[in-house]
């Protein structure tokens, strides 16, 4: 991995549907989008890319978004928050089941829609952090999402719900 900041490319574009200005951060072949304080990784090929480069790209994106991650302790959700996380993930699973379209949906879109539909009852970062723990070993969310299969995404939510219900939701989360 090369962490030469000169190799980080930052550009912008306007999302046609929402007319919002999005910042695109690129490093090591990875692309990350910044929309306000929301940092997302769009679907992309992962072949030949280093996960450390993605981590650095995400770090740079969070810096641009003004989000401080390293200095914030990882929250350990209490029982009330765990129940709200489970309810939001259940809603995301329902959205994936009923609205899935390979062209317009991905796991993060379903998750964000569920978060908004449940009144943003949990911190979004904590909600998103619950998903990597449910992924199969050596799989990134981008790899997992590339299949764009409704059943596969619903299974991911089911595993995340099970982990949270077992009290293991923070284990392995990134």
* Residues in CB range of 52: below 8 A, 6 or more apart: 1, 28
pLDDT exceeds cutoff 90 at 89: yes
Taking residue 25's Cβ as centre, other Cβ atoms within 10 Å add up to: 24
Percent above pLDDT 90 for the chain: 21
d(CA 160, CA 26): 29
Q: List residues bridging with 32 in a β-sheet.
A: 25
* Mean pLDDT across 113-142: 83
Please count the CA atoms within 13 angstroms of the CA of 62 that sit on its side-chain side.
13
**Residue 1 confidence (pLDDT):** 47
Please count the CA atoms within 13 angstroms of the CA of 147 that sit on its side-chain side.
13
* Residues in CB range of 161: below 8 A, 6 or more apart: 86, 89, 90, 93
Residue range 146-169, pLDDT digits in tens: 666 788 889 999 999 998 887 544
Radius of gyration of the chain (CA): 16
* Mean pLDDT across 48-73: 76
pLDDT exceeds cutoff 80 at 18: no
CB 128 within 8 A of CB 79: no
Of the candidates 26, 37, 49, 18, the one whose C-alpha atom is nearest the C-alpha of residue 142 is 49
Taking residue 24's Cβ as centre, other Cβ atoms within 10 Å add up to: 15
Taking residue 95's Cβ as centre, other Cβ atoms within 10 Å add up to: 21
* Mean pLDDT across 116-135: 84
Please state the domain extents for the chain: 5-65, 79-165
Helix (H, G, I), strand (E, B) or coil at 30: strand
CB 90 within 8 A of CB 157: yes
């Amino acid at each position: 991995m090369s962490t030469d900041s000169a190799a980080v490319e930052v550009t912008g574009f306007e999302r046609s549907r929402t007319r919002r200005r999005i910042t695109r951060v690129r490093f090591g072949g990875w692309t990350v989008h910044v929309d306000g304080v929301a940092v997302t990784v769009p679907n992309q090929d992962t072949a030949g890319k280093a996960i450390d480069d993605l981590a650095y790209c995400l770090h740079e994106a969070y810096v641009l978004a003004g989000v401080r991650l390293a200095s914030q302790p990882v929250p350990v959700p209490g029982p009330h928050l765990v129940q709200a996380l489970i309810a939001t993930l259940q809603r995301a699973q329902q959205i994936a089941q009923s609205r899935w379209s390979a062209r317009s949906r991905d796991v993060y879109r379903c998750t964000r829609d569920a978060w908004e539909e449940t009144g943003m009852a949990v911190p979004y970062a904590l909600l998103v952090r619950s998903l990597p723990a449910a992924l199969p070993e050596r799989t990134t969310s981008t790899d997992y999402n590339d299949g764009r299969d409704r059943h596969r995404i619903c299974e991911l939510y089911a595993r995340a719900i099970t982990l949270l219900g077992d009290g293991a939701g923070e284990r392995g989360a990134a």
